[in-house]
Structure 1
Amino acid sequence: MHYHYSHPALHELASAAARSGHYAEAARIVDGAARSLENVGRPSPRRAALVHLSRAALAPPDEAESHFTEALEASILARRPFERARTLLQYGEWLRRRHRILEAGPSLAEAEGIFRRLGAPPWAARVQNELRAAGTQGNTPEPDALAALTPQQQQIVRLAARGPTNREIAEKLYLSPRTVSSHLYRAFPKPGITVRSRLRDVLEAHTAGRGSA
């Protein structure tokens, strides 16, 4: 284990192991890498997030979600959009497979938006497969799409279009992150979108429609 070069590969290893059924073997390696990182001092936020994400891929259901949450709450991922998108995708996949469709939708939609902005079509296509499996599909936003939302949904959509996380929106509106996630998931089908990045399109279409009225 190298203190600098090993940790970026942990997530790749854990993901491959989870897909091939080598949970126990990979978990021993991830635990060993985590101990190695701790031995050289407190892990950096990115290394800690990658360890949590790796453990999330390998942990039993009653432990996995806390690791996903810890990884997604790491502010360092906001500066590493590809890693954040992969985390959102993996969490969305995990939620969908447990039939928590309402919660999976926003994570998957945000992941797809990031992958498209980064020019990563294979990853965006993978998210689209998950969205279809979750029964979600998108269309072009209509000018009056925002009017179809409830007042609270409109408020959350306007905030989300600026880029903050669900947790940041929740803190601003004194709601729980799960409530924000639920409102966004219910709001997406009304303007006919599937990705968080298109919320800005909805607002622009609404503004343009009012301007031409």
Structure 2
Amino acid sequence: MFALPDLVEAAVRADHPDRAAGPFARSSAWADASGQPWAAAVAARCRALLHPAEEHYRDALRLHERGGRPFERARTELLYGEWLRRERRRTDAREPLRSALVRFEHLGAAPWADRARAELRATGEGAAPAAALGLTDRLTPQELQIVRLAAAGVSNRDIAAQLFLSHRTVEYHLYKAYPKLGVSSRAELARLGLGD
């Protein structure tokens, strides 16, 4: 069920909207049955893809305001901004694109943030690169906790013991965090001053 909106978007982007009808109908039925506002918002987004009209995008965003699934909201904002730009409403497109970019960056969804940033540039606005984010904003809460301990000089085994994790899990989180911080070693990590 969670893949149905992706199938709708893929069919529309591949210029085969006829192939989106089935997944759209199933997704809409599931959204109605679930009673979840985020599911109804995603169904409205799919409707906007199939029948491009501003009211469908606005309906989706209104439903997203009821809460849940920030990633799905960012996707809706991105698609709405893209549609506005294609409609030659570049100034109007900037607000949903900016919002999508902020959400994607906060969630660590780099490819999606890159797409939103490219769309913003296409509207004539320069979007700040991800480097403009604070260092700690790039990390998951678990990564941040581990990185702070590692920067303070705590060994992987001791970090694992403190956080009730395996040392391999600690190594994995450090492996994921280093590129986000632009470092490649503990020594460089210590120089960032995150262990304070």
Which residue number corresponds to residue 30 of structure 1?
Answer: 24
Quote how far apart the aligned CAs of 1:119 are: 1.1
Q: Is the partner of 2:19 in helix, strand or coil?
A: helix
* Whole-Å separation in 1 of the counterparts to 2:9 and 2:105: 22
- Which among 56, 61, 69 is matched to residue 72 of structure 1? 61
* Whole-Å separation in 1 of the counterparts to 2:24 and 2:128: 41
Q: Is the partner of 1:21 in helix, strand or coil?
A: coil
Alignment-mate amino acid for residue 120 of structure 2? L
- Classify 1:28/1:104 alpha carbon distance in 2 versus 1 (closer, same or farther; 3 Å): same
Are 2:100 and 1:93 equivalent residues in the alignment?
no
The answer as to whether partners of 1:85 and 1:114 remain within 8 angstroms in 2 is yes
Structure showing greater relative contact order (alpha-carbon pairs closer than 8 Å, 6 or more residues apart): 1
- Which among 37, 43, 46 is matched to residue 51 of structure 1? 43
- Classify 1:34/1:101 alpha carbon distance in 2 versus 1 (closer, same or farther; 3 Å): same
Which residue number corresponds to residue 158 of structure 1?
Answer: none
Q: Is the partner of 1:79 in helix, strand or coil?
A: coil
- Which among 83, 89, 101 is matched to residue 112 of structure 1? 101
Which residue number corresponds to residue 123 of structure 1?
Answer: 112
Q: Is the partner of 1:74 in helix, strand or coil?
A: helix
What percentage of residue pairs aligned between the two structures are identical? 42
Quote how far apart the aligned CAs of 1:104 are: 0.3
Q: How many aligned residue pairs are there?
A: 129
* Whole-Å separation in 1 of the counterparts to 2:85 and 2:116: 12
What TM-score, normalized to structure 1?
Answer: 0.54
Quote how far apart the aligned CAs of 1:120 are: 1.4
1:62-82 deviations in Å (ceiling 9; x for gaps): xx3222111101146643211
For the aligned residues, what is the CA RMSD? 2.3
Max Rg structure: 2
* Whole-Å separation in 2 of the counterparts to 1:112 and 1:36: 28
Instruction: List gaps (5 residues or longer) in structure 2.
Output: 130-196
What TM-score, normalized to structure 2?
Answer: 0.59
